[in-house]
Amino acid sequence: MRTLILALGASLVLAGPALAYDGTKCKAPGNCWEPKPGFPDKIAGTKYDPKHDPKELNKQADSIKAMEERNKKRIENAKKTGKFEYDVAKIAN
């Protein structure tokens, strides 16, 4: 029994460092990203570059601008009339 316990303890001590290794090569603590084999370090200009369409990327910014304009009209109308109207189409210019 004692031999078994010693053998298990020794195997845990020897296996401890091997269990802690995760296969990465860290440049600095916490900076452990590395590309998979065959994957380029830089993505721009490679077959992995998604080449996003600028129109698609600007859709959210455009919708936010439109939302802010509608809100501005609502607030101006509420200040003039004292009543908040959600539907911008009902607001008289």
Digit-coded pLDDT (tens) for 9-68: 766 666 655 556 566 678 787 788 777 788 877 888 888 788 888 888 899 999 999 999
Place of tokens 């065959």: 38
Dihedral over alpha carbons 75, 81, 82, 86 (to 10 degrees)? -50
> Two tokens at 2?
């004692």
Contact 44, 52 (CB under 8 A): no
Residue-range domains of the chain with CATH: 9-51 (4.10.160.10), 52-92 (4.10.160.10)
Digit-coded pLDDT (tens) for 74-84: 999 999 999 99
